[in-house]
């Protein structure tokens, strides 16, 4: 990444949650690696896009509340012991669908779309970082509510659990940026965006944290990115210890889920956190990975319902 940045060579980067299988290639080689994406200002599409099936199927049976409760209680025990104060707990849900990764690209409503081979399709609403003219921004997303609930935005803003979770992750990202940038500040606090799901809408809360990179940042791009991994919004705080707890507690391997994907065009960077994630395993079975942040104030029933609420494909 540093080499490509120093040479102003446009490239993409795909980094998994644990940074075990990173892929960094020039944009010109994306098609050869079957790595396709649609971003707000750039895209690489396959030569021939698969059409959607005439009748799309998407059915799932969520994990049992009992299974979720067991993991939730384990995380809460670590919180009561002072080991973590925010942890992102995720699960895989088996899905029956004819919407494969190859057919979904370009057919969903989302800020970011990423397809890698026939392994996964991601339609993420969450920006990881952007860099433009030396200004680095991160937009962690924490806090979700059904938009159809009366006074949904006011309820989301006033919810003590959601507020604490959001403030915690904002502080974590601010600390991460302070390692690599100067003049770090919250440039846009607690703004609300509407996210379309399959048949309903969610409101999600984000904050924008900004700072200024030193001159010559292009040749340090890899160092900059890796100092911020894994993304704070999908790990927790304190980050290192919370990742240990996640690995002990979760019942699946995240892989590329909750990793990042980004594009460097020779001048600027845009990237996303790989959430809203449909994965196909080698046997052809589909799993949708989802989760949410747990704090000491979290209620098990609410978190379980949020996990289920995030399982959707917003077809257009």
pLDDT of 199 strictly over 70 = no
**pLDDT (mean) for 237-261:** 97
Q: What is the pLDDT of residue 202?
A: 84
pLDDT of 196 strictly over 80 = no
Q: What is the pLDDT of residue 215?
A: 94
pLDDT in tens, 136-189: 999 998 888 888 899 999 999 998 888 888 889 999 999 999 999 999 999 999
Query: How many CA within 13 A on the CB side of residue 265?
Result: 15
Answer whether 259's CB lies under 8 Å from 275's CB. no
- For the ranges 17-31, 98-112, 190-204, 205-219, the lowest mean pLDDT is seen at 190-204
**pLDDT (mean) for 10-32:** 98
Q: How far apart are CA 258 and CA 228, in angstroms?
A: 13
Q: What is the pLDDT of residue 97?
A: 94
Q: How far apart are CA 299 and CA 260, in angstroms?
A: 29
Q: What is the pLDDT of residue 86?
A: 93
User: Which among 189, 218, 222 is positioned nearest to 206, based on CA atoms?
Assistant: 189
Domains of the chain are 2-309 (3.60.120.10)
Q: How far apart are CA 236 and CA 78, in angstroms?
A: 13
Please state the pTM of the whole predicted model. Answer: 0.93
Q: Give 138's strand partners.
A: 129, 209
Q: How far apart are CA 302 and CA 310, in angstroms?
A: 12
- Report DSSP state, residue 250: -
User: Which among 160, 143, 183 is positioned nearest to 303, based on CA atoms?
Assistant: 143
Please, is 43 exposed, middle or buried when counting C-beta atoms within 10 Å of its C-beta (0-12, 13-18, 19+)? middle
Q: What is the pLDDT of residue 154?
A: 93
Answer whether 218's CB lies under 8 Å from 179's CB. no
Query: How many CA within 13 A on the CB side of residue 302?
Result: 13
Which residue is associated with the tokens 């502080």? 171
Under the banding of pLDDT at 50, 70 and 90, the label for residue 198 is: low
**pLDDT (mean) for 47-74:** 91
| Helices (H) then strands (E): counts for the chain | 8, 18
Q: Which two tokens stand for residue 12?
A: 């993409």
Answer whether 156's CB lies under 8 Å from 162's CB. yes
**Cα separations (Å) of 180 from 183, 190, 211?**
10, 23, 9
Report percent pLDDT > 90 for the chain.
82
The dihedrals phi and psi of 163, each to the nearest 5 degrees, come to: -65, -45
User: Which among 54, 42, 57, 50 is positioned nearest to 10, based on CA atoms?
Assistant: 42
H or E segment to which residue 170 belongs: helix 160-180
Average pLDDT value for the chain:
94
Under the banding of pLDDT at 50, 70 and 90, the label for residue 51 is: confident
Q: What is the pLDDT of residue 121?
A: 97
pLDDT of 67 strictly over 90 = yes
**pLDDT (mean) for 287-311:** 94
- Report DSSP state, residue 263: E
């Amino acid at each position: 990444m540093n080499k490509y940045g120093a040479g102003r060579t446009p490239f993409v980067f795909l980094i998994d949650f644990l940074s075990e299988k990173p892929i960094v290639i020039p944009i010109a080689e994306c098609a050869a690696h079957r790595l396709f994406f649609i971003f707000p200002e750039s895209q690489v599409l396959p030569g021939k896009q698969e059409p959607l099936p005439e009748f799309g199927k998407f059915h799932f049976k969520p994990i049992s509340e009992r299974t979720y409760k067991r993991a939730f209680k384990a995380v809460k025990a670590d919180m009561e012991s002072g080991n973590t104060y925010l942890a992102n707990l995720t699960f895989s849900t088996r899905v029956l669908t004819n919407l494969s990764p190859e057919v979904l690209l370009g057919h969903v409503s989302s800020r970011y779309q990423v397809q890698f081979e026939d392994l996964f399709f991601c339609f993420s609403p969450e920006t990881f970082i952007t860099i433009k003219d030396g200004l680095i921004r991160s937009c962690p997303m924490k806090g979700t509510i059904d938009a159809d609930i009366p006074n949904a935005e006011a309820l989301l803003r006033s919810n003590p659990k959601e507020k604490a979770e959001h403030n915690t992750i904002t502080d974590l990202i601010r600390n991460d940026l302070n390692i690599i940038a100067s003049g770090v500040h919250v440039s846009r606090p607690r703004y609300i965006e509407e996210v379309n799901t399959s048949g309903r809408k969610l409101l999600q809360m984000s904050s924008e944290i900004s700072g200024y990179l030193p001159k010559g940042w292009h040749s340090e791009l890899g160092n900059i990115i890796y100092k911020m991994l894994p993304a704070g919004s999908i790990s927790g705080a304190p980050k290192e210890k919370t990742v240990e707890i996640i690995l002990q507690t979760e019942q699946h391997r995240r892989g590329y889920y909750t990793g990042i994907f980004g594009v460097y065009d020779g001048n600027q960077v845009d990237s996303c956190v790989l959430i809203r994630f449909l994965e196909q395993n080698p046997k052809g079975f589909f799993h949708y990975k989802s989760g949410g942040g747990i704090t000491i104030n979290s209620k098990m029933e609410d978190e379980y319902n949020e996990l289920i609420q995030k399982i959707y494909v917003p077809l257009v």
